[in-house]
Each structure stands twice: as structure tokens, then as C-alpha cells.
Amino acid sequence: MIDPLLTRQDSWESNARSYPRMLPLALARAKGMTVTATDGRIFLDCLTGAGALSLGHGHPVVVEALENALAAGLPWQILDLTTPAKDSFVTELFSRLPAELARGGRIQFCGPSGADAVEAAVKLTKIATGRRSILAFSGGYHGMTHGGMAVTGDVGVKAPIPGLPSDVYFLPYPYPYRCPFGVGEDGHRVASRYVERLLDDPMSGIAPPAAVLVEPVQGQGGVLPAPDEWLREIRRITAERRIPLILDEVQTGGGRTGTLFAFERAGVVPDVLVLSKALGGGLPLAVVVYRGELDRWEPGAHAGTFRGNQLAMITGAAALRFTVEQRLPQHAAVMGDRLMAHLRSVQRSSTAIGAVRGRGLMIGVEIVAPNGAPDLLGARPAAPALARTMQANCLDRGLMVEVAGRHGSVVRFLPPLVITAEQVDDVAERFADAVAAAERTPAREPETADMLS
């Protein structure tokens, strides 16, 4: 029997809704890593609000902070006025940033979404440099606003929208399994040399950019971690040419990749840092942190009613403090290694898994056509229908996962950072069973033309 909530959602909500199409659930309760549907079924949540719930559902630290704030009668939102809660949040955040960025750094509170913060970061660098163009990367995802889509690589979401901001140029992002240069693991070296020569070429057709925008680990692009050497090269190249480097850590910030911020692994420091999702402890919050010398925009240059979300600042400060004190980034690294070891074991017995990759608890499994002809590097064609079948099989087995990446062929795992070893093993067992079931009755893959439509 279909839950009437789902029926009414289908009749009321817009055609733009997305997650309910692959995860047809009406959720009643949630705690930790589990969510309970209205029909009583219980699921392990490896979606966690697209990574926003880094401590899982209803973590006691977040709940206590929220209850104390409500009991104290604190204001809920105050535009960009200040409060003790706001001061405490900024102090906590800046104490966790690299000293090079925190010293003299500035923070802009944005509308509570990562896309708005990306818009603010792009606007900031254009004003500060007086330049127009932005360099972004293929596979990048930076939100669904007009400006966010302009710097996002997904052609499918952009194609129906005329008049997106221009002067955005896309560069190749390292992708060993489907290397854009056709050289595999060494592709990142070619990629960085390409960027440097492009910037120095007076006939490149690209005016000196206002910024280079990059995700240290691409999420929607298929969970593609930037090689440390490549990210260091991008930092060197931009610094030598005085081009602001924007790092979009909307999904990676907060410990998910094994360090508090993903860029720390490579030992680089950005000029502009975009944060959201986990930043508010599960409540909506987004900020841009940047070097003080870029602070050249005028009062009111970027505004938004809910940029003063006090409850999110209170829960965000509590979650950040707990994350650091409990060494959750390190825990995420250990649990991520454990989960990837399980997934690679599944890969060895499967003909449908092309790659397993990730950082910490941000992991992707690329699903490929078992009988597809491999390219020159051995990569087989993407298998989006098979990936969706595996996702559905996971749901049947009480496991919530997302599908993303090129052609929607990468199964993503974003469990809470507090996941236990036993839960990791349980997730892996359910996924292995889902893969085996999908391979017994493989889905028919659409023609290439259908995949791109």
C-alpha cells in the first residue's frame, strides 16, 4: 500500500523534485545513522542530507545546544547584526582555520545555502580584481542558482536555461578512470601543465580570470578526489599570477574527508573558502571566508534575510567543537578506509564496478556495463540503469544511498562521521548483496543518446 503522504507529495510538489523519485520514502523518525519510515521500515542512512548531517540525526550535542538556545530566549535570526552566539561561532570557526587565512581574514554570512555562498565568492573576486572571467572545472558542482549553474559542469541542468552568466571557462579535472587526456593516473600532471600554459598564452582566448574555482573532492561529479600534487600545483599557479583561488568545501568541510577541511591534506591555503552543509550542525548556514585584502565590496553588496540564522550558528559551533574534540576527522579516515576495503572486495568479485574511490567518508563506486567494450585505458561504458537498480536494491535491503557522477553511474556513500565499525560492515554487506542481485538481473542500459537527454 502506498503511503498517502507520498501520494499527496506527488500531486502537490513540483516536477523539479529529485530525491523522492529514487528514494520513495515518507520518513517519520530519525536517530543517529538510522531513519524510520511511516510504515515502520528502518534504513541505514548513507545520504545524511547530502552530507549536511555530519553527526547523524538528532545528535545529543546538537539537540542540547538547540534546547539551551530556545530556553534562553535568544533571537532566532537577526540579519547581519551581531550577538554573543554569532561572536562565539566566528571565534570557533576562525580558531580552526589555517593561521594564514584566519589572520586578517573576513567572513561573509550568506543566504543559508552553498549555492548562495558560491555566488558571493564569485562576486567578491570579480569586485576585488576588476576582472570578469571565472575558471571552473569539468565535473564541478556549485549549486542550482543562475550563477551556480554557470560554473557547474553538468550540461544537462544548464541546457534548458538561456542567458546564464558568461565568461566561465571549464578546465579538465583529474579523473584517472576516465582521464580527459587519455593517460590515466598521470593525467593530473598533464592537467596542471595545461592550466599553466593556458594562463600564460596571450592567444588562449581567455582574459585574465577573476578567480579559479575548484572542489578539493568533486561530489556530484562522481566523488573525484583532487590529487594532492595537482592541488598544490593549482595553488602555485594561481598564487604566482595573483589569481584568487576559491575552494568550494560545501560538502567536504567539517571533517568528512579525513581532515577538518579537505585542502589541509594537500597543505594548501585558499584565498576564498566556501562552507555550508555540515557547518550549521544540520541547520541551514553558509559562509564565505576570505583574505582581508579581497574585502573591497561595498556595504550591502551581498545580502539575504536569513543570513543571521542564530540557531544554526549555535548548533554549528557546538558541532564543530565536538568534531574536533572527538577527533572525528581522524575517525572518518579510519572508517572510510574500512568501508573502501569492503567495497574493493566487492569490486574484485563483480564485473560491474569500474572504480572505488574517495576520501574519508565521502566514497563513490563507479558502475559500468559488464559486457561493454573498454576504451584504450580499460574503462568500460557507464551503466546508469544498473546503478539505479543497485540503488533500488539497497533501499530494499534497508540502505539509503545516492547516485551521481557522469551519466548518473556512481553510487555515493556519505554516512555520518560517527558511524561505527559494525555499521560500516553492515553497510558493506547490504551493498554487496544489492550488487549481486543487480548482476543476476541486469537492467537494460539506454542508448547513449538517451543517457545524454
Q: What is the pLDDT of residues 346-400, one digit of tens each?
A: 999 999 999 999 999 999 999 999 999 999 899 999 999 999 999 999 999 999 9
- C-alpha cell at position 312: 544554526
As its CATH architecture, domain 4-58+327-451 has Alpha-Beta Complex (3.90)
What's the pLDDT score for residue 327?
Answer: 98
What's the pLDDT score for residue 444?
Answer: 56
Report the alpha-carbon distance of residue 272 to residue 12 in Å, rounded: 40
pLDDT class for 249, splitting at 50, 70, 90? very high
Mean pLDDT calculated for residue range 291-316: 96
> 109: which residues sit within 8 A by CB, 6+ positions away?
80, 285, 286, 287, 307, 308
pLDDT at 445 over 70: no
- C-alpha cell at position 249: 568545501
What's the pLDDT score for residue 441?
Answer: 79
Mean pLDDT calculated for residue range 147-160: 93
Mean pLDDT calculated for residue range 276-292: 97
Mean pLDDT calculated for residue range 286-307: 96
What's the pLDDT score for residue 3?
Answer: 86
Report the alpha-carbon distance of residue 445 to residue 429 in Å, rounded: 26
CA distances from 251 to 149, 266, 425 (A): 17, 17, 24
pLDDT at 297 over 70: yes
Return the closest-CA partner of residue 282 out of 90, 84, 87, 66: 66
Please provide the average confidence, as pLDDT, over all residues in the chain.
Answer: 95
Side chain identity at residue 192, one-letter code:
S
Annotate 303-349 with DSSP letters as a single string: --GGGGBHHHHHHHHHHHHHHHHTTHHHHHHHHHHHHHHHHHHHHHT
CA distances from 77 to 74, 276, 307, 449 (A): 9, 17, 8, 48
Domain ranges in the chain are 4-58+327-451, 74-325
Alpha-carbon torsion angle 112, 117, 120, 122, nearest 10: -160
Mean pLDDT calculated for residue range 238-255: 98
What's the pLDDT score for residue 453?
Answer: 30
Any idea what DSSP says for residue 264? G
pLDDT at 448 over 70: no
How much of the chain, in percent, has pLDDT values that exceed 90?
A: 92
pLDDT at 260 over 60: yes
> 425: which residues sit within 8 A by CB, 6+ positions away?
338, 342
Any bridge partners for residue 280, and if so which?
none
Return the closest-CA partner of residue 333 out of 282, 262, 273, 391: 262
CA distances from 86 to 104, 111, 411, 429 (A): 18, 15, 37, 43
pLDDT at 449 over 80: no
Mean pLDDT calculated for residue range 271-286: 97
Mean pLDDT calculated for residue range 53-59: 97
Mean pLDDT calculated for residue range 190-194: 97
What CATH class is the domain 74-325?
A: alpha beta
Residue 393: half-sphere exposure toward Cβ, Cα within 13 Å = 23
State the sign of the Cα–Cα–Cα–Cα dihedral 119, 101, 279, 342: positive
What pLDDT, in 10s, does the model give residues 62-74? 999 999 999 999 9
> 2: which residues sit within 8 A by CB, 6+ positions away?
none
